[in-house]
Amino acid sequence: MVFKNGEKILFEVRRHWFVIVSESSLIILLGLLPFVALGASSWANLSPQSFWAVLFLCAGWLLILWSAFFIVWTNYYLDVWVVTNQRIIDIEQINLFNRTVSEFRLDRVQDITIKVNGFVATILGFGDIHVQTAGEMEKFLIKSAPKPYEIKDKIIREHDRALELARGGSHGGV
């Protein structure tokens, strides 16, 4: 990421921790599946050859699930908004080898909409943030952001500061 003169990172926004926990819970349950299916008594009754074959298959299964968890975590961690004092950079990790990077200047913000959907999102305090801009790409979205109202207030504060700098004749390095 290339930063302009005087540009400073104010904060980063990633999806709420509940997202990765909910996406990973199925992987964890699938990881326990072979051990629950065989049970403790079945392991003791296996012949030595069968024991090693079953252990090898279980290890292979866990390796596949570990790879799936790594992909889920990578998509979670690399999907981020970087908010600087001049712009917002939206890095959307679509899958392991596919990402989109968009950016817009803070003085281009026209509207910010928060959508908190459901009981869990309301209790844990996360929701979607939609930012409407005056640019070519009209809407920017980060899904399941933690504390969306606080993030909206910070962006509006920085938007107002950017507009004030633009009116005063100084563009702050933009």
pTM of the model: 0.76
Give me the sheet containing 98-105, strands edge to edge.
9-14, 80-84, 87-95, 98-105
Q: Alpha helices, DSSP H only, in the chain?
A: 17-44, 48-78, 119-124, 148-167
Please state which of the four CATH numbers 2.60.120, 2.40.10, 2.30.29, 1.10.10 is assigned to the domain occupying 9-16+81-167.
2.30.29
Q: At what angle do helices 17-44 and 48-78 cross, to 10 degrees?
A: 180
How far CA 83 is from CA of 4, 64, 91, 140, 156, in Å, comes to 13, 36, 11, 13, 12
63-97 pLDDT, tens digit per residue, is: 999 999 999 999 999 999 999 988 899 998 888 88
5-57 pLDDT, tens digit per residue, is: 788 999 999 999 999 999 999 999 999 888 787 776 677 777 888 888 888 98
